[in-house]
Amino acid sequence: MSILTRHPRAKGTVMVLGGDGFCGWPTALHLSNLGYEVVIVDNLSRRKIDVELGAESLTPIATMEARLAAWKEVSGKTIRFVDLTLGEDFHEFVELLSEVQPEAIVHFAEQRAAPYSMKGARQKRYTVSNNLCATHDVLCAMVEAGVDSHLVHLGTMGVYGYGTAGLTIPEGYLPITVQTANGPQDLEVLYPANPGSVYHMTKTQDQLFFFYYNKNNAIRITDLHQGIVWGTQTPETARHEALINRFDYDGDYGTVLNRFLMQAAIGYPLTVHGSGGQTRAFIHIRDTVRCIEIAIANPPKKGDRVMILNQMTQTHRLIDLAEKISEMTGVPYEHVRNPRVEAAENELVVSNEQFLALGLNPTKLEDGLMEEVQTIAKRFAHRCDKSKIPCVSTWRRDEPQPVETTE
Ligand code: NAD
Ligand code: USQ
């Protein structure tokens, strides 16, 4: 039986935490376009990390002020922006919640790059304190402000681990049968966490925060276990140059499919880690924003347990992706030493029935949309700094990281 119910309701206010980021910005525009009042909360830390790493989005992203002015110009709609740090500026956030009383809060505001989280002690500690304090403060502030908002969190497929021995990964909860004195009893438990980096570990901890606040304070929560996002533009971000979404290609923040597409666009041999036998889940950015729309429109009822949906549309083996892109573009691929500690190969079968049942019409690789990314990658190839392409962050203690210069 589906745990989802449809609740048609008037459009209210949605807070987008992390609304300046790769997923948050197009989501903010999409929700504003649908008629929601949107309030973005972001401390612009992602832009500061770009400066720290000496890397930049391949696409030239406008300042938040210019982004919001351009959106007003093309849509007539106003998006409010509040610059605060979740996990630090607690009282300001409680006040903001009390004032805005959002119908939904979409929480993207975490340090999300696994390689960055493994660079060294400073980045590990930052990722843990930033992500855990941010998520806990959001929940704690909701209780403090007494709001009955629906919290929609962006989690990751990586909480499950990727080696699942032929099992179809269920949506968050694993059905098990235990033997009791009265005979066998069927239960559902949170799928055992198996993180592959310090970043992914923070997402597994987030799950426990949600479990607890849902149980203790009946907070309505949807946790979206998202796969690797690819693509750049959505219909809204394409409406004005100043609305363009970010495109990360560097060794820390660039995700694999966008990296391959961008590497192909500049004739740089595609960097396949190890054998390329790793299988991962993927979703296009256009489907990300649509999934958030669907999640907001279908909140859990008061008293329901945390709703967990797998936000992915396809799985691919990395070597298959590399071969496909190589064939398409004539650019070769290279097997490079894998800087990560991860299984050299794995099968991955994932259930995503809930989003499909709620009307998601997935964008597939075969839909020719790789062309869109290639157009972006080719158009802005002149902005690429090739020295930032290699993945230098390593998971192994015996391979020292480049010397840390900032503390
Ligand atoms: P991003 O780094 O581009 O965006 C995150 C935004 O949050 C940034 O604008 C940053 O400035 C802000 N932020 C971070 N910490 C903050 C804090 N403490 N207070 C206020 N603002 C803060 O990341 P993204 O790619 O847009 O990912 C968004 C979310 O989706 C993340 O939680 C990530 O774990 C999840 N996710 C992303 C992907 C992906 O492929 N990009 C896949 C699965 C899940
Ligand atoms: N990889 C390559 N070549 C590259 C870069 C990566 O082969 O040039 C490999 C990696 O070794 C890994 C796979 O590609 O096996 C995926 O790496 P990635 O950087 O694309 O994705 P990941 O580190 O898992 O993280 C990204 C997002 C993160 C999100 C996660 C979803 O940065 O925020 O949570 O995807 S998931 O992978 O489903 O857990």
Predicted TM-score (pTM) of the model is 0.96
- State the pLDDT confidence band at 403, using cuts at 50, 70 and 90: low
Please state the rounded mean pLDDT for residues 306-320.
Answer: 97
CB count in 10 Å sphere of residue 194: 15
- The residue whose C-alpha atom lies closest to atom 17 belonging to ligand 2 is 256
The Å distance, Cα 57 to ligand 2 centre, comes to 17
The Å distance, Cα 282 to ligand 1 centre, comes to 17
User: What is the rounded CA–CA span in Å between residue 307 and residue 98?
Assistant: 25
Q: Is 5 within the bounds of a domain?
A: no
> Burial level of 260, CB count in 10 A (0-12/13-18/19+)?
buried
Catalytic residue among 203, 213, 388, 394: 203
The Å distance, Cα 180 to ligand 1 centre, comes to 43
Q: Coil, strand, or helix at residue 150? A: strand
Flag whether pLDDT at 9 surpasses 70.
no
| pLDDT at residue 401 in the model | 67
Flag whether pLDDT at 100 surpasses 90.
yes
Element (H, E) at 54: none
Q: Is 289 within the bounds of a domain?
A: yes
Are residues 275 and 342 in contact, defined by beta-carbon separation less than 8 angstroms?
Answer: no
Sign of the dihedral defined by the CA atoms of residues 352, 353, 358, 363, in that order = positive
Q: Is 396 within the bounds of a domain?
A: no
- State the pLDDT confidence band at 1, using cuts at 50, 70 and 90: very low
Q: Which ligand is nearest to the CA of 282?
A: 2
Count how many domains the chain has: 1
Pocket of ligand 2 (CB under 6 A): 112-114, 156-158, 227-228, 255-256, 259, 271-273, 278, 280-281, 318, 338, 340, 342, 391
CB count in 10 Å sphere of residue 241: 11
Q: What residue numbers bound the domain in which 100 lies?
A: 13-388
Flag whether pLDDT at 392 surpasses 90.
yes
Sheet of strand 228-230, all strands in order from the earlier edge strand to the far edge: 228-230, 279-284, 314-317
- State the pLDDT confidence band at 375, using cuts at 50, 70 and 90: confident
- The residue whose C-alpha atom lies closest to atom 6 belonging to ligand 1 is 18
Residue with tokens 């709001």: 147
State the number of CA atoms in the 13 A half-sphere of 242 facing the CB. Answer: 13
119 is catalytic: no
Are residues 21 and 343 in contact, defined by beta-carbon separation less than 8 angstroms?
Answer: no
Flag whether pLDDT at 374 surpasses 80.
no
Closest ligand 2 atom to Cα of 342? 15
> Burial level of 109, CB count in 10 A (0-12/13-18/19+)?
buried
Backbone angles phi, psi at 8, to 5 degrees: -65, 130
Average pLDDT, the chain: 94
Q: Which residue has the higher pLDDT, 112 or 7?
A: 112
Flag whether pLDDT at 8 surpasses 50.
no
- State the pLDDT confidence band at 365, using cuts at 50, 70 and 90: confident
Flag whether pLDDT at 407 surpasses 50.
no
Are residues 134 and 87 in contact, defined by beta-carbon separation less than 8 angstroms?
Answer: yes
Radius of gyration of the chain (CA): 21
Percent of the chain with pLDDT over 70: 95
- The residue whose C-alpha atom lies closest to atom 13 belonging to ligand 2 is 256
Pocket of ligand 1 (CB under 6 A): 18, 20-24, 42-46, 85-87, 108-110, 112, 130, 134, 154, 156, 226, 228-229, 255
Candidates 199, 230, 256, 283: which one to mutate for ligand 2, based on the most atoms within 8 Å of Cβ?
256
Q: Is 393 within the bounds of a domain?
A: no
Please state the rounded mean pLDDT for residues 340-346.
Answer: 95
CATH code where residue 314 lies: 3.40.50.720
The Å distance, Cα 256 to ligand 2 centre, comes to 6
Catalytic residue among 85, 135, 156, 271: 156
Please state the rounded mean pLDDT for residues 97-116.
Answer: 98
156 is catalytic: yes
ipTM: 0.99
Task: Dump pLDDT digits (tens) for 144-167.
Answer: 999 999 999 999 999 999 877 789
State the number of CA atoms in the 13 A half-sphere of 151 facing the CB. Answer: 34
Q: Which ligand is nearest to the CA of 21?
A: 1
Please state the rounded mean pLDDT for residues 165-185.
Answer: 94
CA neighbor of 339 nearest in space, from 391, 382, 290: 391
Flag whether pLDDT at 78 surpasses 60.
yes
Are residues 220 and 301 in contact, defined by beta-carbon separation less than 8 angstroms?
Answer: yes
Element (H, E) at 109: none
The Å distance, Cα 331 to ligand 1 centre, comes to 31
Q: Please write down the HEC assignment for all residues of 181-243.
A: CCEEEEEEEECCCCCCCHHHHHHHHHHHHHHHHHHHHCCEEEEEEECEEECCCCCCHHHCHHH
Flag whether pLDDT at 207 surpasses 50.
yes
Q: Is 379 within the bounds of a domain?
A: yes
375 is catalytic: no
Q: Is 228 within the bounds of a domain?
A: yes
Catalytic residue among 116, 160, 191, 199: 199
Q: Is 117 within the bounds of a domain?
A: yes
User: What is the rounded CA–CA span in Å between residue 49 and residue 54?
Assistant: 8
Q: Which residue has the higher pLDDT, 14 or 162?
A: 14
Flag whether pLDDT at 5 surpasses 50.
no
Closest ligand 2 atom to Cα of 276? 7
Q: Is 161 within the bounds of a domain?
A: yes
User: What is the rounded CA–CA span in Å between residue 92 and residue 75?
Assistant: 29
